[in-house]
Amino acid sequence: MTVSHAKKLVYAGIFVLKKLDLKGGEGGIRLPVLLEPQHAPLEEVLEKLVMDGFIEIDRKSQLYKLTKRGIAHLGKLIDEAESYIDEFDEQEIADVVDELRARNLDPLRVRFLWGWYQGEFDDVAMFQERRGFVEIEPDWPLFVVSDDFYENLELDLEGDEAEALDD
């Protein structure tokens, strides 16, 4: 399976929305409109979030900020993630994947939301260490748009090698 560029933008956007919503001490960020080099990989993600109406530019502070629509969207994502966790927490991954496919739901989206909601990706370096990455990408903006991230998540959804979603 290969994750489309469009899906990567959506998932990376969800990641960014969470970062913008959290306070600094909780892992949140303030993203200036003139992106620092480490945040440059997010340019297309931010553009999509603006076009979707989830974030806007605060002209006074020159920072990206969540809109009311973005906050409501985050709430829906949280509700969606919680519903998956409530329903599938004790089930085998192969059964979950089969059920999601039977419902015409994207198993990767469910896997992503599960990890996103539970904070599994909050420290991307630690996530990569736990998952056995050979080379660790410490910059979260680069990691959340990388093929490596999504290819690794897809491993959880494959047959006999599947791990539990909540590991």
Tens digit of each residue's pLDDT (9 = 90 or more) over 86-143: 999 988 888 999 999 999 999 999 999 999 999 999 999 999 999 999 999 999 999 9
In which band, very low, low, confident or very high, does the pLDDT at 159 lie, cut at 50, 70 and 90?
A: low
pLDDT of residue 2: 77
DSSP secondary structure string for all residues of 95-107: HHHHHHHHTT--H
pLDDT above 70 for 165: no
Strands of the chain, DSSP E = 55-58, 63-66
Q: How far apart are CA 152 and CA 156, in angstroms?
A: 7
pLDDT of residue 161: 39
Strands of 26-146, DSSP E = 55-58, 63-66
Q: How many CA atoms lie within 13 A of 60 on its CB side?
A: 1
> Which residue in 68, 33, 34 sits closest to 53, CA to CA?
68
> Which residue in 138, 137, 157, 159 sits closest to 148, CA to CA?
137
pLDDT above 80 for 164: no
Ranges of each domain in the chain: 5-155
Evaluated on CA atoms 156, 162, 166, 167, the torsion sign reads negative
pTM (two decimals): 0.89
Q: How far apart are CA 4 and CA 44, in angstroms?
A: 14
Per-residue pLDDT of 36-89, as tens digits, reads 999 999 999 999 999 999 999 999 999 999 999 999 999 999 999 999 999 999
